[in-house]
Amino acid sequence: MGAFREAAEEAEPVVVLPRGFDSSEPTPLVIALHGTGGTGREMARAWRGAARRVGAILVAPDALRPSGNGYAWVFRDESEWYVEKLIAEMREEYAIGEVVLVGFSQGANIALAMGRSHPELFDAVVPVCGHWEADAAGLPEAPAEGEEDDRPAWYLLIGERDPWQATYDEAEELLGAAGMRVSVEKVRGLGHAMPRDRVLEGALRWCLE
């Protein structure tokens, strides 16, 4: 972890500010995690338009551990520490409103786990083409009667031809039964791939309603 943290201190994730950005106004933050062998720059290209149209700051980091032509989120504790670090840094620099964690493939798996293990950090989670595993993390506890529910909302986005699409049915059932806001979109004709820009925008708009 020590070497990883040193690399993270020197890393410069892609940051995209919305048009007409006003640093004095609370602005939504979207943290985007790439898949195995991917890069933050690739995720920034995929999410840039959607984030700008909903008026959100987009942050897309590299996972830092080399894999193929890019990087991979090899160790979950490293990944979660890094995401927490990025959120803290953005809060120091900007007036941050809602925080949405998005991810594709392996990045979606990190998002699926971290939304449950650190629910207080996020207002919403958008795992794209992930693999739901119920035992990867426990479900966050429901609030006591009269207390505000600060658990994240979940927009589960996956291609109808993705080999893991059936796992999102279980996710929807368990998250919904736990009392969390959840929606599933299975994109027609799509396999294990990033949906088109307008689909991503729709997911963000749902999260920020």
**pLDDT-derived band at 49, boundaries 50, 70, 90:** very high
For residues 166-175, average pLDDT:
98
pLDDT tens digits along 3-40: 899 999 999 999 999 999 998 899 999 999 999 999 99
Residue of 109, 107, 122, 130 lying closest to 181 (CA atoms) = 122
Q: What is the pLDDT of residue 8?
A: 94
pLDDT tens digits along 119-139: 999 999 999 999 999 999 999
For residues 86-101, average pLDDT:
97
Q: What's the pTM value of the predicted model, to 2 decimals? A: 0.96
Round the average pLDDT of the chain to a whole number and report it: 96
Evaluate if residue 1 carries a pLDDT over 80: no
The burial of 96, by beta-carbon neighbours within 10 Å (0-12 exposed, 13-18 middle, 19 or more buried), is given as middle
Backbone angles phi and psi of 34, in degrees to 5: -75, 170
3-state secondary structure 61-77: CCCCEEECCEEECCCHH
Q: Which two tokens stand for residue 77?
A: 């504790």
Measure the CA–CA gap between 20 and 33, rounded to whole angstroms.
25
Measure the CA–CA gap between 55 and 19, rounded to whole angstroms.
7
